[in-house]
Structure formats: structure tokens, C-alpha cells
């Protein structure tokens, strides 16, 4: 199985098969417009600008499962990203990433790249873990997505090669993208 086996929806509801990205590295992420990590849109757009011409695609999936931080419609989420952060990469339809209503793509991503734990030497990860422990301790168990802005890097064959947690440094993501481009 690969990501090419899945179909997703654009913010306007139109279905798009992910096999259209075959042969390209893809960064898939769950996002939210009212999150502590929302400012990552600026860094992500910079990465997209840097690597898109080399064939890298980014796909953002708004998600309202974490603290209700994406309450608006699909169109409102996409518009917010474009207006406030200049996001040019596709912002797709809102999805659930955990639980019974999780989109099958995210179930696949979580199985292919299990959660490796929090790096408590990183203050942001330590704070995120404390917040989750306080608000939703059940999210700490298993391979579920822990918060907004979890990212998955996909290789040219549609396989998951890396999972990045919300507080992971953008340079770590860039280095992994560079590695995929050199293969």
C-alpha cells in the first residue's frame, strides 16, 4: 500500500486521487488556523517555495480535533492560510486524523510512521506533552497524532519515510526533503 491508494477532497469538495503525485516527494500535514503552531505556515511556505520547482508537493489538511482550533469551513481555513501566511500549497478539505472518523489516509500514515515519543529536551515538546497530559491524556498512548502540525514525508514511490511532530525544527524537515531529492 502507498499514499497513491487514497483519494482526498479539495476544499471545494472535488475528489482528487493521490496517485497524481506519483514520482514526487510529498509532505502531508494536519493543520489548524488558531493553534500555537499556526505560525509554522510561514516556514512551511518558505520550504514549499524552495523545493516546489524541484518537484516536492505539500498537502495541508485542516483538522478541528485538537482544542477546536479549526472551527471554520474548508473555504475559511484555506482563505485564512492564503491571506495571513501567503500559503500557496494546496489546503484540502477538513479531516479527522484520529478516532473512528479518521480519514483512511491518516490511519495509513500513522501505521507507516509510528509515534516515537516526545523529545523532552525540546521545551516546546515538553510543554506540548504536559498540555496533552492535562487535557487529553488518552492521546499520549499509541501512534495517534498528538496535535496540529504533525507532518509526514512521503518518498517518490508513495511510501512514508519520516514523521515530524509539531515542535520538530524546520531544518530537520528540510534536511529530510533534501535527502529525498538526492535519491
Q: Which of 35, 59, 128, 177 is catalytic?
A: 35
CA distance 56 to 100: 31
Told to judge if 35 belongs to the known catalytic residues of this protein, a careful annotator would answer: yes
∠ CA 173-158-31 to the nearest 5 degrees?
50
Nine cell digits for residue 86: 501567503
Task: Give me the residue label for grid cell 535519491.
Answer: 183
Neighbours of 166 (CB within 10 A): 21
Nine cell digits for residue 123: 521545551
Q: Which residues are catalytic?
A: 35
Amino acid at each position: 500500500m502507498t499514499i497513491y491508494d487514497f483519494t482526498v477532497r479539495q476544499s471545494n469538495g472535488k475528489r482528487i486521487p493521490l496517485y497524481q503525485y506519483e514520482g514526487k516527494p510529498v509532505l502531508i500535514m494536519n493543520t489548524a488556523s488558531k493553534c500555537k503552531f499556526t505560525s509554522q505556515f510561514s516556514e512551511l511556505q518558505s520550504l514549499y517555495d524552495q523545493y516546489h520547482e524541484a518537484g516536492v508537493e505539500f498537502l495541508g489538511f485542516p483538522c478541528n480535533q485538537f482544542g477546536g482550533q479549526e472551527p471554520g469551513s474548508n473555504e475559511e481555513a484555506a482563505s485564512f492560510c492564503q491571506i495571513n501566511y501567503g500559503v500557496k500549497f494546496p489546503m484540502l478539505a477538513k479531516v479527522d486524523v484520529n478516532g473512528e472518523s479518521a480519514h483512511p489516509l491518516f490511519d495509513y500514515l500513522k501505521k507507516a510512521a509510528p509515534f516515537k515519543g516526545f523529545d523532552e529536551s525540546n521545551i516546546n515538546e515538553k510543554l506540548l506533552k504536559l498540555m496533552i497530559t492535562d487535557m487529553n491524556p488518552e492521546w499520549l498512548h499509541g501512534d495517534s497524532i498528538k496535535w496540529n502540525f504533525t507532518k509526514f514525508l512521503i518518498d517518490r514511490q508513495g511510501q512514508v519515510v519520516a514523521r515530524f511532530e509539531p515542535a520538530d525544527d524546520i531544518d530537520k524537515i528540510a534536511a529530510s526533503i533534501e535527502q529525498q531529492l538526492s535519491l
